[in-house]
Structure 1
Amino acid sequence: MAKMKIKAKEKGGVVKVKAMFTSLMADKEESIKKGIKPEYIKYIVAKVNDAVVFEVSTSGFMSENPLVKFKFNGKSGDEITFTTIDNNEKTETGSEKIK
């Protein structure tokens, strides 16, 4: 299951976000090599005030502990919430106030 570190800072009406997710990101082929169960994040969504500001479908092709960066128009004081779903349908949620 993915753990996350989130940083979101607003400047001039633009919010810059950096989010790192802790996950092995091991697809079937890699998991066979390492002798572990396949584990990777397959979906990431970020919302602010119930509006989607970032959304991506992924697979085991991403690197271990993936880092995503993006920008959107927003304001400080709001809360950004990330939700991830892994290949085993486990869901993890994390949030952070925009500074």
Structure 2
Amino acid sequence: MAKMKIKAKEKKGVVKVKAMFTSLMADKEEAIKKGISPSYIRYITAKANDKIVYEVTTSGFMSENPLVKFEFKGAKKGDKITFTTVDNENKTETSSKKIK
């Protein structure tokens, strides 16, 4: 399952987010080459104040341990940003971080 490292900083009303997900991101073809079972993140969402601020559908095409960066408005210091990932076996993982 994907472990997450999240950084979120607000400045002048804009929150800048960096999030890294620990995952092999190995689709079926890559898994066969490596002699492992397929393992990749299928879906990532980020919410702040119960609003989706980032959403992406992925597959094994992404690099191992993907890093995403984005900005959004509508949150302030002290609010939480919550990431949820769903992998190819429909397992979910959620992690939150306070915005600094």
Q: What TM-score range do you get, normalising by the shorter chain?
A: over 0.9
The aligned residue for residue 11 of structure 1 is 11
1:56-92 C-alpha deviation (Å, 9 max, x unpaired) = 0000000000000000012111000000000010100
Residue 4 of structure 2: SS of its match in structure 1? strand
Percent identity, please.
79
Aligned residues: 99
> How far apart in 2 are the matches of 1:8 and 1:20?
12
Pairs within 5 Å for 1:65-84: 65-73=65-73, 74-84=75-85
TM-score using structure 1 length: 0.99
TM-score using structure 2 length: 0.98
Q: Aligned partner of 2:15: which letter?
A: V
> How far apart in 2 are the matches of 1:83 and 1:50?
13
Instruction: Extract structure 1 runs of 4+ deviating beyond 2 A.
Output: none
Q: Which runs of 5+ in 2 are unaligned?
A: none
CA RMSD of aligned residues (A): 0.4
Q: Which runs of 5+ in 1 are unaligned?
A: none
> How far apart in 2 are the matches of 1:37 and 1:92?
19
**CA drift at 1:49:** 1.4
The aligned residue for residue 98 of structure 1 is 99
> How far apart in 2 are the matches of 1:47 and 1:30?
31
> How far apart in 1 are the matches of 2:4 and 2:19?
7
Q: Does 1:21 pair with 2:21? A: yes
> How far apart in 2 are the matches of 1:82 and 1:48?
9
Residue 89 of structure 1: SS of its match in structure 2? coil
